[in-house]
Amino acid sequence: MLDMKLVRTDPERVKENIRKKFQDEKLPLVDEVLALDKQFREAKLRGDELRAQRKAKSKQIGGLMAKGDKEGAEALKAEVNAMGDELTALETSEGELQAKIREIMLVIPNIIDESVPIGRDDSENVEIERFGEPTVPDFEIPYHVDIMERLSGIDLDSARKTSGNGFYYLCGDIARLHSAILSYARDFMIGRGFTYYIPPYMIRGEVVSGVMSFAEMENMMYKIEGEDLYLIGTSEHSMIGKFIDTILPESSLPQTLTSYSPCFRKEVGAHGIEERGVYRIHQFEKQEMIVVCKPEESMKWYDVLWKNTVDLFRSLDIPVRTLECCSGDLADLKVKSLDVEAWSPRQKKYFEVGSCSDLGDAQARRLGIRVKAEDGSKYLAHTLNNTVVAPPRMLIAFLENNLNADGSVRIPEALRPYMGGQEVIK
- Cβ(268)–Cβ(217) below 8 Å: no
Long-range contacts, 29-37 (Cβ 8 Å, 24+): 29/104, 29/107, 29/108, 30/108, 32/104, 33/4, 33/7, 33/101, 33/104, 33/105, 33/108, 34/7, 34/8, 36/97, 36/100, 36/101, 36/104, 37/4, 37/7, 37/8, 37/101
CA distance 418 to 212: 35
**Mean pLDDT score of the chain:** 93
CA distance 222 to 273: 15
Q: Where in the chain is the domain with CATH 3.30.930.10?
A: 122-425
Rounded mean pLDDT, 387-404? 94
- How many contiguous H segments (helices) and E segments (strands) does the chain have? 13, 18
pLDDT of 38 higher than 60: yes
Catalytic residue numbers, as ranges: 265, 280, 352, 355, 393
Q: Among 1-5, 63-67, 124-128, name the one with the lowest average pLDDT.
A: 63-67
CA distance 172 to 417: 17
pLDDT of 273 higher than 70: no
Helices (H), 106-227: 144-150, 156-162, 172-190, 205-211, 214-220
Confidence (pLDDT) at 372: 98
CA distance 373 to 388: 31
pLDDT of 275 higher than 70: no
Side chain identity at 253, as an amino acid letter? L
- Cβ(357)–Cβ(324) below 8 Å: no
Assign 274 a pLDDT band (cuts: 50, 70, 90): low
Q: Which three-class secondary structure string do you get for 294-355?
A: CHHHHHHHHHHHHHHHHHHHHHCCCCEEEEECCHHHCCCCCCEEEEEEEEECCCCEEEEEEE
Q: Where in the chain is the domain with CATH 1.10.287.40?
A: 4-105
Rounded mean pLDDT, 212-217? 76
- Superfamily covering domain 4-105: Serine-tRNA synthetase, tRNA binding domain (1.10.287.40)
Q: Which 3 state secondary structure label does DSSP give 361? A: coil
CA distance 425 to 410: 7
Percentage of the residues of the chain whose pLDDT score is greater than 70? 98
Q: Among 259-268, 297-306, 324-333, name the one with the lowest average pLDDT.
A: 259-268
pLDDT of 333 higher than 70: yes
Cβ atoms within 10 Å of 328's Cβ, excluding its own: 19
- In tens, the pLDDT along 126-181 reads 999 999 999 999 999 999 999 999 999 999 999 999 999 889 999 999 999 999 99
pLDDT of 270 higher than 60: no
Which top CATH class is 122-425?
alpha beta
- In tens, the pLDDT along 114-130 reads 999 999 999 999 999 99
Assign 271 a pLDDT band (cuts: 50, 70, 90): low
Assign 272 a pLDDT band (cuts: 50, 70, 90): low
